[in-house]
Amino acid sequence: MMQFMLLFSRQGKLRLQKWFSAYPDRAKKKITRELITLVLARKPKMCSFLEWKDLKIVYKRYASLYFCCAIERDDNELLTLETIHRYVELLDKYFGSVCELDIIFNFEKAYFMLDEFLLGGEVQETSKKNVLKAIAAQDLLQEEETPQGFFEDHGLG
């Protein structure tokens, strides 16, 4: 199973984190720091897989963002690369050519999308259509619910 997935920028800023097993907060911070340093130090042509503690790290860079997953010993590295890619495609389709800013400003959407795609560290639904359909259904509900405090919502709100 996938243990966790981290999205971070070339500058080393964490943009999204998803933990599929329970880790204490302190451990999460330490792991994140370590992995960001480790992955950013790697050169472009290098292998996308590396052993790390008793896990395997699979990472791929898309524009300014690194997607980095930790999987277990007997998990499939190549397929994990494509799991990352499918997630990127989903974001791309949803946001319309996704960029780092979309994920920063709509982090909650990125999480909802991930929950439809991966659950409990396993792939739940690989069909792009089905995932997007589920998210579209959520958005539809969102639009039906009129924001009441819209006018007060300026500045610090």
Partner 1 sequence: MPTVKGDGMRGLAVFISDIRNCKSKEAEIKRINKELANIRSKFKGDKTLDGYQKKKYVCKLLFIFLLGHDIDFGHMEAVNLLSSNKYTEKQIGYLFISVLVGASSDLMKLVIQSIKNDLVSRNPIHINLALHCMANVGSREMADSVGGDIPKLLTSGETIDSVKQSAGLTLLRLQRSSPEMIPLGEWTSRIIHLLNDQHMGVVTSATSLIEALVRKNPEEYKSCVSLAVSRLSRIVTASYTDLQDYTYYFVPAPWLSVKLLRLLQNYPPPEDASVRTRLTECLETILNKAQEPPKSKKVQHSNAKNAVLFEAINLIIHMDSDPNLLVRACNQLGQFLQHKETNLRYLALESMCLLATSEFSHEAVKKHQDTVITALKTERDVSVRQRAVDLLYAMCDRSNAEEIVGEMLEYLESADYSIREEMVLKVAILAEKYAVDYTWYVDVILNLIRIAGDYVSEEVWYRVIQIVINRDDVQGYAAKTVFEALQAPACHENMVKVGGYILGEFGNLIAGDPRSSPLVQFQLLHSKYHLCSPNTRGLLLSTYIKFINLFPEIKSSIQEILGSDNNLRNPDVELQQRCIEYLQLSTVASPDVLATVLEEMPPFPERESSILAKLKKKKPTATAEGGEEKEKEQRTIPQAQVNNAEPSAPAPLPTVNNLNTAPSGGSSGGAVVDLLGLDTAPAPAAPASSGLNFLADVFGDQPATNGVDDDALTPGAEENFKKFFCKQNGVLFENDLLQIGIKAEYRQNLARVGVFFGNKTTFQFTNFTSNLVLADSIKSAVSVQPKAVEPVVEGGAQVQQLFNIECVDSFSEAPLLKISFTHTSQVQKLNLKLPVIISKFLEPAEMNSEAFFTRWKALSQPDQECQKIFKAQFPQDTEQVKQKVLGFGLSILQGIDPNPDNFVSSAILHTRNQQVGCLVRLEPNKQMQMYRLTIRSTKPEISKALGDLLETQF
| By CB under 8 A, residue 111 contacts partner 1 | yes
| By CB under 8 A, residue 54 contacts partner 1 | yes
Total of residues contacting partner 1 (CB under 8 A): 72
| By CB under 8 A, residue 88 contacts partner 1 | no
| By CB under 8 A, residue 99 contacts partner 1 | yes
| By CB under 8 A, residue 86 contacts partner 1 | yes
In angstroms, the CA 59 to CA 90 distance is 17
Q: 60 by DSSP, 3-state: which? A: strand
In angstroms, the CA 142 to CA 69 distance is 31
In angstroms, the CA 113 to CA 41 distance is 29
Per CB under 8 A, contacts with partner 1 among 6-45 are: 14, 16-17, 22, 29, 34, 38, 43, 45
| By CB under 8 A, residue 76 contacts partner 1 | yes
User: CB 51 → partner 1: shortest distance, Å?
Assistant: 5
What lies within 8 Å, CB to CB, of 128 at 6+ separation is: 86, 89, 90, 93
Per CB under 8 A, contacts with partner 1 among 117-146 are: 119-130, 134, 137-139, 141-143, 145
User: CB 116 → partner 1: shortest distance, Å?
Assistant: 8
CA atoms within 13 A on the CB side of 94: 28
In angstroms, the CA 157 to CA 143 distance is 21
User: CB 145 → partner 1: shortest distance, Å?
Assistant: 5
| By CB under 8 A, residue 78 contacts partner 1 | yes
Q: 102 by DSSP, 3-state: which? A: helix
